[in-house]
Amino acid sequence: MKSSEVGRPRIGVPIRLSSSDTPDARVGAANQLFTFIVELLREAGAQPVLLTPVSADSAGRLAAEMQRLDGVLLPGGGDIDPRLYGQDPEDALYDVNQEQDHLDIDVARATIDAGLPLLGICRGHQLLNVLYGGTLTQDMAVTSVTHSSLDPGNPGASEWAWHDVRLSPGSKAAALHGSPEGSTIKVASGHHQAVARVGEGLVVTAIADDGTVEALEDPSRWVASVQWHPEVSQLADSDRLVLFSSFVQVCRHPTQARPGGVQ
């Protein structure tokens, strides 16, 4: 019996593997956001389950792990190795960790194969696009006015770019924010990369004024992602919980989730 049957869905979250002890403050900031996500899932009524490389060392063991889960959330973190989407690394990359890439990709594949709900946030949004065969802009500094001044390594509110995104009516992103008819919401972004070519089978469900792809979903199953950070501490507690509470409800009643893998 899965825990969703007794009211607390078990939601897997792959751990972050880079140490906060590194001189790059962005790693510590990303690890702090990971902690926020785990806390918010718990506050929203879920039982977070931390997924490690040990549990992903074989397809069989990871598939068995999925049988004990009700959903998975892919959190933020460092940059994805661009060789995974057919590009050479550029100088602006930070915290590229191949072990992290393998863990997150293996977990995402196993989640989709098991037909469980899957939600990506920031790096998780970008990773889903890569998994579906899409590409990323490695450095937005020369392409985006809204996002060009971001410095997610600085503490405090100045690390975030606050901007509007337009949610598509009927999308999973809109439903997660309690606006199934679609709306414009203000969000906090802290990233220097973005979706370039959208992966096959994904549709764009939110964009920023500068054209940045802010949300994606697979309409054939419950797979969705957002580029912004709903977990930031500068948001009111009720606002921080909206997306996580909605996702917990999806995992409790995953009627839209359908099995089927990504090649």
**Residues 189-221: tens digit of each pLDDT:** 888 889 999 999 999 999 999 899 999 999 999
Catalytic residue among 192, 217, 229, 251: 229
Given a cut of 90, whether residue 129 has pLDDT beyond it is yes
The arithmetic mean of pLDDT across residues 62-70, rounded, is 92
In terms of pLDDT, which residue wins out, 51 or 30? Answer: 51
pLDDT given for residue 30 in this prediction: 80
At residue 170 the predicted structure's pLDDT band, cuts being 50, 70 and 90, is very high
Catalytic residue among 147, 159, 231, 251: 231
Angle at Cα 80 formed by Cα 15 and Cα 34, nearest 5°?
A: 30
In the block, tokens 């792990």 appear at 65
Residue 61 CA to chain centroid, in angstroms? 23
Is 102 annotated as catalytic? Answer: no
Sign of CA dihedral 77, 73, 124, 113: positive
Mean pLDDT over the full length of the chain:
86
Beta bridge partners of 184: 166
In terms of pLDDT, which residue wins out, 27 or 91? Answer: 91
Beta bridge partners of 137: 194
Is 229 annotated as catalytic? Answer: yes
pLDDT given for residue 19 in this prediction: 73
SS3 at position 79: coil
Is 251 annotated as catalytic? Answer: no
Containing H/E element for 103?
helix 98-113
pLDDT given for residue 173 in this prediction: 96
Do 15 and 49 meet the contact criterion of CB atoms below 8 Å apart? no
Report the amino acid identity of residue 91. Answer: D
Catalytic residue among 65, 122, 191, 192: 122
